[in-house]
Amino acid sequence: MTGNNEWFKPVAAAALARFDSVMDILGLAGGKNAGREYLPLNPKRDDHTPGSFSIHRDKGAWMEGATGDKGGDLISLAAYLWDCGNGEAAERLSQHLGVDVPARQPRARRAEKAAGDTPAPLTPEKPAGEPRTPNAGADDGVCVMPVPADAPTAPALHPKYGKPAARWVYVDPSGAVMFHHCRFEPAGERKQFAPLSLWRMASGRMVWKWKAPSEPRPLLGLDRLASLPAAPVVVVEGEKAHDAAALLLPDVAVVTWQGGCNAVDKSDWLPLAGRVVWLWADADEAGAKAMQKIEKRLQEVGATEVQRVNLGALARVASDVDGKPELTPGEPLAAGEDAADLIARGWQAAHLALLIDADELLSHATGNTPAAIEAAIVENDAAAVKDHSPRRGFRLDDRGIWFVDVKDGVQAAPRWISSPVDILAFVRDEHSAGWGLWVGFEDPDGKPHKEIIPARTFNGEGLEASGLLFDRGLKIAPRGRPLLIEYLQTASPKKRARVTNRTGWHDSDDGGAFVLPDRAFGRGGEEWIFESDSPDGNTYRQKGTLAEWKERVARLCVGNSRLVFAVSMAFAAPLLHLVGAESGGFHLRSHSSDGKTMALRVAASVCGSEKYMQRWRATSNGLEALAMQYCDAPLLLDELAQLDAREAGEVAYMLANGSGKARAGRTGVMRARSYWRLLFLSSGEIGLAQHMAEVGKQSRAGQELRLAEIPADAGKGLGLFENLHESASGAEFAKVIDHATRKHYGSAWVAWLKRLVSEPTASISSDVHAGVRAFERQFLTDGASGQARRVAGRFALVGVAGELATQWGMTGWTAGEAVKGVGACFTAWLANRGGEGNHEERVMLRQIREFLSRYGESAFTDWERPSMTDTHAPVRSDRAGWRKHDSATDQVHYFVSYDAWRARVCKGHDPIAMARLLLAHGFAERGTEANRPWLIRASVPGEGRPRVVHILPEIMEADDD
CA dist., res. 826 & res. 830, Å (int): 6
Other C-beta atoms lying within 10 Å of the C-beta of residue 294:
23
Which amino acid makes up residue 52? Answer: S
Q: Which residues contact 942 (CB under 8 A, 6 or more apart)?
A: 866, 867, 868, 869
- Does residue 549 or residue 329 have the better pLDDT? 549
Residue 854, pLDDT above cutoff 60:
yes
Which amino acid makes up residue 239? Answer: E
Cis geometry, peptide bond prior to residue 216 (ω within 30 degrees of 0) = yes
Residue 661, pLDDT above cutoff 80:
no
- pLDDT the model gives residue 662: 57
Q: What is the mean pLDDT of the segment spanning 752-759?
A: 90
Q: What is the mean pLDDT of the segment spanning 528-532?
A: 80
- pLDDT the model gives residue 565: 96
Q: What is the mean pLDDT of the segment spanning 739-757?
A: 93
The answer to whether 765 and 579 have CB atoms below 8 angstroms apart is yes
- B/e letters for 76-113, b = 16+ CB within 10 Å, e = fewer, are bbbbbbeeeebbbbbbbbbbbbebebeebeeeeeeeee
- pLDDT the model gives residue 181: 93
Task: Single out the residue of 85, 82, 115, 80 nearest to residue 101, CA to CA.
Answer: 115
The answer to whether 480 and 511 have CB atoms below 8 angstroms apart is no
Q: What is the mean pLDDT of the segment spanning 129-134?
A: 43
Q: What is the mean pLDDT of the segment spanning 120-146?
A: 51
Task: Single out the residue of 712, 677, 714 nearest to residue 514, CA to CA.
Answer: 677
- pLDDT the model gives residue 557: 95
Q: What is the mean pLDDT of the segment spanning 205-224?
A: 90
Q: What is the mean pLDDT of the segment spanning 528-550?
A: 82
CA dist., res. 888 & res. 863, Å (int): 15
Task: Single out the residue of 332, 282, 342 nearest to residue 312, CA to CA.
Answer: 332
Residue 112, pLDDT above cutoff 70:
no
- pLDDT the model gives residue 5: 61
- Does residue 945 or residue 323 have the better pLDDT? 945
Q: What is the mean pLDDT of the segment spanning 315-320?
A: 85
- pLDDT the model gives residue 27: 81
The model's pLDDT over 476-524, given as tens digits with 9 standing for 90+, comes to: 998 889 999 999 988 888 888 888 888 888 876 656 788 888 888 886 6
Band (863; pLDDT cuts 50, 70, 90)? confident
Task: Single out the residue of 718, 701, 719 nearest to residue 709, CA to CA.
Answer: 701
Which amino acid makes up residue 264? Answer: V
The model's pLDDT over 565-615, given as tens digits with 9 standing for 90+, comes to: 999 999 999 999 999 888 888 989 887 666 778 999 999 999 998 889 988
Band (378; pLDDT cuts 50, 70, 90)? very low
Residue 190, pLDDT above cutoff 60:
yes
- B/e letters for 561-575, b = 16+ CB within 10 Å, e = fewer, are bbbbbbbbbbbbbbb
- pLDDT the model gives residue 728: 92
- pLDDT the model gives residue 648: 74
Band (760; pLDDT cuts 50, 70, 90)? confident
Task: Single out the residue of 539, 891, 444 nearest to residue 749, CA to CA.
Answer: 539
The model's pLDDT over 676-730, given as tens digits with 9 standing for 90+, comes to: 888 989 888 887 777 767 766 766 666 667 888 899 888 888 888 999 999 999 8
Rounded to a whole number of angstroms, the CA Rg of the chain reads 39
- Does residue 876 or residue 850 have the better pLDDT? 850
Other C-beta atoms lying within 10 Å of the C-beta of residue 818:
29
Distances (CA, A) of 221 to 65, 361, 833, 843: 43, 22, 71, 78
Least confident among 134-143, 380-389, 814-823: 380-389
Task: Single out the residue of 136, 63, 74 nearest to residue 99, CA to CA.
Answer: 74
Angle at 524 (CA atoms; ends 519, 528), nearest 5 degrees: 35
796's enclosing H/E stretch is helix 786-807
Which amino acid makes up residue 38? Answer: Y
The model's pLDDT over 933-961, given as tens digits with 9 standing for 90+, comes to: 989 998 888 888 899 999 999 888 876 54
- pLDDT the model gives residue 372: 37
Residue 106, pLDDT above cutoff 50:
no
- pLDDT the model gives residue 943: 83
The answer to whether 644 and 622 have CB atoms below 8 angstroms apart is no
The answer to whether 598 and 636 have CB atoms below 8 angstroms apart is no
pTM: 0.53
Which amino acid makes up residue 75? Answer: I
Residue 74, pLDDT above cutoff 60:
yes
Q: What is the mean pLDDT of the segment spanning 643-654?
A: 78
Other C-beta atoms lying within 10 Å of the C-beta of residue 406:
13
CA dist., res. 713 & res. 719, Å (int): 5
Band (195; pLDDT cuts 50, 70, 90)? very high
- Does residue 438 or residue 34 have the better pLDDT? 438
CA dist., res. 688 & res. 44, Å (int): 50
Distances (CA, A) of 782 to 787, 794, 800, 830: 13, 18, 21, 15
- pLDDT the model gives residue 115: 34
- pLDDT the model gives residue 140: 65
Residue 819, pLDDT above cutoff 70:
yes
Q: Show contacts of 644-651: CB within 8 Å, 24+ apart.
A: 644/619, 645/691, 645/692, 645/694, 645/695, 645/697, 646/695, 646/697, 647/619, 647/620, 648/688, 648/691, 648/692, 648/697, 649/688, 649/692, 649/697, 649/699, 649/700, 649/703, 650/620, 651/620, 651/623
- pLDDT the model gives residue 956: 86
Task: Single out the residue of 61, 87, 58 nearest to residue 74, CA to CA.
Answer: 61
Q: What is the mean pLDDT of the segment spanning 905-921?
A: 88
Give the three-state DSSP class for 876.
coil
- pLDDT the model gives residue 509: 62
- pLDDT the model gives residue 333: 83
Q: What is the mean pLDDT of the segment spanning 162-186?
A: 91
Beta strands 947-951; 936-937: pairing state: antiparallel
Of all residues in the chain, what percent are helix, strand and coil, respectively (each to 5)? Answer: 35, 20, 45
Query: 793: burial class by Cβ within 10 Å (0-12, 13-18, 19+)?
Result: middle
Residue 118, pLDDT above cutoff 80:
no
- pLDDT the model gives residue 111: 37
Q: Which residues contact 481 (CB under 8 A, 6 or more apart)?
A: 462, 466
Give the three-state DSSP class for 689.
helix
CA dist., res. 237 & res. 259, Å (int): 9
Backbone angles phi, psi at 286, to 5 degrees: -60, -40
Backbone angles phi, psi at 160, to 5 degrees: -105, -45
- pLDDT the model gives residue 679: 92
Band (366; pLDDT cuts 50, 70, 90)? very low
Residue 173, pLDDT above cutoff 60:
yes
Q: Which residues contact 180 (CB under 8 A, 6 or more apart)?
A: 154, 167, 168, 169, 170, 195, 196, 197
Give the three-state DSSP class for 181.
strand
Distances (CA, A) of 893 to 856, 861, 953: 10, 12, 6
Task: Single out the residue of 899, 868, 864 nearest to residue 881, CA to CA.
Answer: 899
Query: 942: burial class by Cβ within 10 Å (0-12, 13-18, 19+)?
Result: exposed
Query: 289: burial class by Cβ within 10 Å (0-12, 13-18, 19+)?
Result: middle
Task: Note the residue count of the chain.
Answer: 961
CA dist., res. 513 & res. 759, Å (int): 13
Task: Single out the residue of 864, 901, 863, 854 nearest to residue 880, CA to CA.
Answer: 901
The angle, 0 to 180 degrees and rounded to 10, between the axes of the packed helices 786-807 and 817-833 is 160
Residue 19, pLDDT above cutoff 70:
yes
- pLDDT the model gives residue 324: 86
The model's pLDDT over 404-418, given as tens digits with 9 standing for 90+, comes to: 888 776 777 788 999
- pLDDT the model gives residue 141: 81
Residue 551 gets which letter from DSSP? Answer: I
- pLDDT the model gives residue 196: 92
Residue 102, pLDDT above cutoff 80:
no
Distances (CA, A) of 677 to 509, 628, 797: 21, 9, 14
Beta strands 584-589; 679-684: pairing state: parallel
Q: What is the mean pLDDT of the segment spanning 616-637?
A: 84
